[in-house]
Amino acid sequence: MTVAALGIDAGSTTCKAVAVDADGHSVGWRLESALPRVEAQTDALLVALALELGAADGVPVVATGYGRKLVRAATRDVTEITCHARGVFADLGTGGTLVDIGGQDAKVIRIDERGRPVDFAMNDKCAAGTGRFLEYTADRLHVPLDDLGPRSLAAPRAEHISSTCTVFAESEIVSLIAQGADVDEILLGLHRSLVSRIVAMVRGVGLTPPLLLSGGVARNDAIRELLGRETGQPVRLPSAPQLMGAYGAALLALELTR
Per CB under 8 A, contacts with another protein among 81-100 are: 81-82
Query: What is the smallest separation between the CB atom of 109 and another protein, expressed in angstroms?
Result: 9
Contacting range for another protein; rule: CB under 8 A; set: 21-29, 94-102, 112-120, 242-250: 112-120
Asked if 182 and 151 touch (Cβ cutoff 8 Å), the reply is no
| Residue among 100 and 135 whose Cβ is closer to another protein | 100
Binding-site member from 54, 150, 204, 234 for another protein (CB under 8 A): 204
Contacting range for another protein; rule: CB under 8 A; set: 54-62, 118-126, 158-166, 224-232: 118-126
Pairing of strands 61-64, 5-10: parallel
Instruction: Check residue 122 for interaction with another protein (CB under 8 A).
Output: yes
Pairing of strands 5-10, 14-20: antiparallel
Cis peptide before 210 (omega within 30 of 0): yes
Per CB under 8 A, contacts with another protein among 18-77 are: 66
Binding-site member from 117, 215, 238, 245 for another protein (CB under 8 A): 117
Query: What is the smallest separation between the CB atom of 120 and another protein, expressed in angstroms?
Result: 6
Cα 23 to Cα 50: distance, rounded to the nearest angstrom: 18
* 3 state SS of 3: coil
Cα separation of the two ends of the chain = 19
Instruction: Check residue 105 for interaction with another protein (CB under 8 A).
Output: yes
Asked if 49 and 243 touch (Cβ cutoff 8 Å), the reply is no
